[in-house]
Amino acid sequence: MKSLIALVCLVAAVDYCLADHVCGPLQRLKVKRQWAAAYGSGSGRQDFGHYIWAHVFQHSPVARDMFKRVRGDNIHTPAFRAHSTRVLGGLDMCIALLDDEPVLNTQLAHLAKQHTTLGVEADHYATLEHAVQMGVENSIGSEVFDQDAWKPCLKVITAGIAGN
């Protein structure tokens, strides 16, 4: 009997630990809800985007080179703000589709085609993932931000765009 109880406890503990590293239905809903609160509307979206891109370029200054066409050297320009709006709009769409995997996968395949010729590497996606998480946490507060939901769910999106 003790062995059975120990086995049940072990399975529950493993399940609990693994739950923090999956983008399951509950994590997807949490990410969608937290994103909606953070992304907001109107001019707040530009401020949110500014925070994210400032974080990206602070942690990866060479990433600016990837954005020469849209003035990555100055994130205050209309060209870069428009680019930020497009990127966050695409991310917004992907997050909205987290609970509709067939449509999400189609969207990610479309984005993958766009990004394959741009020279985006794995570490670039990791930098963006981190910046998005920091932006959401900054916006909604660290007491409600759930990194254990965000990390795997952003990985679903970026891996899909990377074609993995």
Nearest to 92 by CA among 140, 34, 50, 134: 34
115 annotated ligand-binding residue: yes
| CA pair distance 89, 95, nearest whole angstrom | 10
| CA pair distance 95, 72, nearest whole angstrom | 25
Cβ contacts of 70 within 8 Å, gap of 6 or more = 79, 80, 82, 83
Annotated binding site: 115
Annotated binding site for heme b: 115
